[in-house]
Structure 1
């Protein structure tokens, strides 16, 4: 029965990845929240986002040595000091864990967050199927507006050439970007491998037309800077040069990569521990309630016998994440070690809430992680991943709906 209903719902969606890596991804199940809880999540998300966004201007002013100590690749230093848009990040996603009657933020995905189409579009279809309200209602319109605004703010040209790009052979990346591009009628999609660059001149699409704005929602800067062509030319760095020379605008903007570094959370926590006047009294209260102790060493946790998480400054999908107990013994680690070259941060470990859910494999129990989107710092769509102790690319998408309020 589960298999049949799931197939009927997701099977007709050609441009959605209901299965990934040969495994079930989108569940035919739902977690229900009441309106009060949704409002709380939105309020907390905007408070947390405001803390992250406030730290951006401060980091743009610190010496190069400080940014290098934070693990930023030296090739990006002048790039991350650029402030192109009024906002630090157009589309960002907070990862939150329910904690008591509040939430703790374990990180922000400010540069190239995924999970967009699931929450802004697919969730509505699932809510209709289950006959419940959608907490993300009208968020698709909000998303389209945020993208449109960011494009207008990125150029003063009347008819800019706007190109959305992604790896063509990755269904999740490609379809996420095509979904975003669909809301911008004057744009086109060009796969990453078909983009052409002329150093110091510009970036061009496959037809040789110069690009004014590049929307690279799924192509992270830390991958971009290592990009080379067949002749060994550092084309990724050439692209950053074009941005610095104002011959190309990119979205998310450079400031989003500044906040993507998880060491930023150690900076925030350090300023909070000092009770630094950079944050207001109210902001210190928010940091205490919604952030977790985060450091560049594990001493704080070992001295107190607290479990902690070790994760790379730059990393995604749980890759290279390790969980230790208070004695420093490794309890759990992700099998992927892609980001081991980046400096690590150490963050207090808190348990994810668990939930029993339906799947193709029958009833399962998994750990819940809440993804909460910000559009230009304002709360937007939200929803759940469910999986192991470390949320990775094999975790499920669990749709979210509204509990029917009692009359």
Structure 2
């Protein structure tokens, strides 16, 4: 084992509850990309403006008719659910994926519903910066995230109404697929950060009672979601459990659509979930096509300043590829609800496919077509030596505020094999 490999292993083994390797492959780099304070501020300013545009679009989306929502790729079983607004902010934890160069910052996509990459940026980034003697640009972000989670949980409980008045203490459950290390540890990190009485349970440990069970006119068991002790759950924090998967989930024995029954409990205020329903509303990449369409029309829905922001930070995005073929512009075909680069394809301006992701999980998802932008490249240090890699910034948007920043480095199509590359600021270098 080489010295660098040993040093990296020793360092990350001291960080509790972190997956520095995934599937026996290097994930977290023992390396830092240096940024300037001005560069970090520039990314956060872009994120603030992009987030503002997205959150402004959400009420408009809630007003769309059923047919239009279906045309935007939303699954039919979720339509009544996504119109709910249970919290005053559209998403508690969202992540904006950005291509950042010296000349421009462009939004590639938004994960407003179930973003991961949280512990890496809010916690581990600071540990790596400390080891390299650099300033952590995310220094205050964990505190902001804690406050945002606590506020969201408080408001989620309030949204349930009078039912909570008689309860001594609310039941809060953080849940994920228990057999997925990254999902489990991400969810447990959020639970720990929240610092409130709660429990972690795997999704398989939850029990759903879709209708109250009665005997002789007396309610024996209220309808609701229950934990493994038989206690009714008030708030389910499902950070890594996507709604588009949930609506298709069924009980293997009864074939009941348990995911849809769970969403019905949310509609009936028997359960609150975080991220809230509105976060899923912004998850579809077709929303970017809607925003771009309004911008091209110079629609009065957006102010002149907001149109400038869309022009600056959004890429031309459509529900077909005609514009790109007519203009002979390279473009990317993405599934509206895809994740981790899965099913993404890159085409030349003549319509020839030039690159694609090997995974095809989301082939049935409505495709969107977005102007291609080449990700910048940098040199990264891995256990197998130096490598050239494309990189993409992720900037979190927490309760409507730009927050922690991190980098994923890998191929032009950023997939689930991309590395986590920490970010740090060298104050001495800035002061020279």
Give the alignment's TM-score, normalised by structure 1: 0.99
Partner of 2:294: 271
Q: Does residue 395 of structure 1 match 2:406?
A: no
Mark the structure with the bigger radius of gyration: 2
Taking the aligned partners of 1:68 and 1:109, their CA distance within structure 2 comes to: 19
Q: Report the CA distance between 1:13 and its aligned residue.
A: 2.5
Superposed CA offset, 1:185-208 (max 9, x none): 311101011100001310001111
Partner of 2:41: 39
Taking the aligned partners of 1:343 and 1:45, their CA distance within structure 2 comes to: 26
Partner of 1:167: 177
Alignment counterpart, residue 21 of structure 2, candidates 19, 22, 37: 19
Q: Report the CA distance between 1:229 and its aligned residue.
A: 1.4
Q: Report the CA distance between 1:403 and its aligned residue.
A: 2.0
Q: Does residue 187 of structure 1 match 2:198?
A: yes
Could you list the runs of 4 or more consecutive aligned residues of structure 1 that deviate by over 6 angstroms after TM superposition? none
Aligned residue pairs, count: 407
Q: Report the CA distance between 1:212 and its aligned residue.
A: 0.3
Partner of 1:65: 67
Taking the aligned partners of 1:13 and 1:193, their CA distance within structure 2 comes to: 28
Taking the aligned partners of 2:21 and 2:85, their CA distance within structure 1 comes to: 38
Taking the aligned partners of 1:87 and 1:234, their CA distance within structure 2 comes to: 29
Taking the aligned partners of 2:314 and 2:257, their CA distance within structure 1 comes to: 38
Taking the aligned partners of 1:64 and 1:406, their CA distance within structure 2 comes to: 56
Secondary structure class of the residue paired with 2:282:
helix
Q: Report the CA distance between 1:377 and its aligned residue.
A: 1.3
Taking the aligned partners of 2:101 and 2:422, their CA distance within structure 1 comes to: 20
Secondary structure class of the residue paired with 2:176:
coil
Give the alignment's TM-score, normalised by structure 2: 0.93
Alignment root-mean-square deviation, CA: 0.9
Alignment counterpart, residue 186 of structure 2, candidates 152, 170, 176: 176
Taking the aligned partners of 1:99 and 1:241, their CA distance within structure 2 comes to: 44
Q: Report the CA distance between 1:230 and its aligned residue.
A: 2.4
Q: Report the CA distance between 1:389 and its aligned residue.
A: 1.0
Taking the aligned partners of 1:400 and 1:100, their CA distance within structure 2 comes to: 16
The 5-angstrom pairing of residues 221-240 of structure 1 reads 221-231=243-253, 232-240=255-263
Q: Report the CA distance between 1:21 and its aligned residue.
A: 1.5
Secondary structure class of the residue paired with 1:146:
helix
Taking the aligned partners of 2:82 and 2:265, their CA distance within structure 1 comes to: 14
Partner of 2:236: 214
Taking the aligned partners of 1:14 and 1:282, their CA distance within structure 2 comes to: 45
Alignment counterpart, residue 350 of structure 1, candidates 348, 370, 373: 373
Partner of 2:431: 406
Taking the aligned partners of 1:292 and 1:69, their CA distance within structure 2 comes to: 20
Secondary structure class of the residue paired with 1:190:
strand
Partner of 1:371: 394
Partner of 1:103: 105
Superposed CA offset, 1:241-300 (max 9, x none): 000001000000000000000000000000000000000000000000000000000010
Q: Does residue 321 of structure 1 match 2:344?
A: yes
Deviating more after overlay: 99-108 vs 297-306 = 99-108
Q: Report the CA distance between 1:100 and its aligned residue.
A: 4.1
Partner of 1:298: 321
Taking the aligned partners of 2:100 and 2:184, their CA distance within structure 1 comes to: 31
Superposed CA offset, 1:349-397 (max 9, x none): 0000000111012110010100000101101100100000100110000
